[in-house]
């Protein structure tokens, strides 16, 4: 058996694997929202309540991917649900790549400036790298086209703008608190990179524009 079988359509999209991806991402999403629980409570208490939506970046990306996998398991029948599924797919790819890379980069940037990494940090590195990798693996099997990258880009850039305009970005290691401008610029650049990568992958796989 060739090693390429393990990232083939036959392997990744059989129902056992799809259910495995679904439950792993659902559990990760729930854990992620719990991880952000303290910051979400702080945001509700000290900021406009609508801003809390933009706090748990990675869990929301994982939620998009979980929903996208569910639509692979149960393809939508109505036009409204089909449109919603395409939006979830595009959001899943752009945000999973963006926040997967972002979290790992921030962890190691903090470590480079003296932050001591503990086992939770390594767990976050592994889980966030997995987010980015699985999004790139599954983009081949999703049905969204290049046009749907636009709302995904709009949402992700809006998230960045709200985060760094109102100060509701994910809490950073203490070592990076004097580097907020650099983190902001990196975050915006990473959003642009993730959007471009999604578009390029779609072009490479010759998907039809919808």
Q: What percent of the chain has pLDDT over 90?
A: 87
Q: Is the pLDDT of residue 72 over 80?
A: yes
- Number of continuous H segments (helices) and E segments (strands) in the chain: 8, 0
What secondary structure letter does DSSP report for 89? H
Q: How confident is the model at residue 73 (pLDDT cuts 50, 70, 90)?
A: very high
pTM: 0.94
Cα(128)–Cα(185) distance, rounded to whole angstroms? Answer: 20
47 φ/ψ sector (left φ>0, alpha ψ -120 to 50, else beta) = beta
| Residue-wise pLDDT tens digits, 183-208 | 999 999 999 999 999 999 888 875 44
* The pLDDT of residue 206: 57
Q: Is the pLDDT of residue 28 over 90?
A: yes
Nearest Cα neighbor of 130 from 62, 32, 57 is: 62
Coil, helix or strand at residue 100: helix
The rounded mean pLDDT for the chain is 93
Cα(107)–Cα(154) distance, rounded to whole angstroms? Answer: 26
* The pLDDT of residue 5: 79
Tokens of 71: 């639509």
């Amino acid at each position: 058996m060739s090693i390429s079988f393990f990232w083939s359509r036959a392997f990744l999209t059989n129902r056992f694997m799809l259910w495995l991806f679904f439950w792993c991402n659902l559990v990760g999403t729930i854990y992620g929202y719990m991880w952000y629980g303290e910051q979400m409570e702080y945001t509700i208490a000290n900021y406009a309540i609508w801003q809390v939506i933009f706090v748990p970046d990675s869990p929301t990306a994982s939620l998009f991917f979980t929903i996208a996998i569910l639509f692979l398991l149960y393809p939508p029948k109505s036009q409204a649900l089909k449109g919603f599924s395409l939006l979830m797919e595009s959001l899943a790819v752009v945000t999973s790549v963006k926040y997967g890379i972002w979290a790992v980069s921030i962890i190691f940037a903090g470590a480079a400036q003296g932050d001591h990494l503990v086992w939770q940090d390594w767990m976050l590195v592994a889980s966030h790298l997995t987010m980015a990798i699985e999004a790139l693996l599954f983009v081949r099997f999703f049905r969204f086209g290049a046009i749907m990258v636009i709302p995904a880009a709009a949402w992700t850039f809006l998230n960045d703008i709200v985060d760094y305009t109102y100060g509701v970005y994910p809490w950073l290691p203490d070592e990076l608190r004097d580097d907020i401008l650099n983190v902001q610029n990196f975050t915006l650049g990473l959003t642009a990179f993730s959007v471009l990568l999604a578009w390029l992958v779609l072009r490479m796989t010759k998907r039809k524009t919808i």
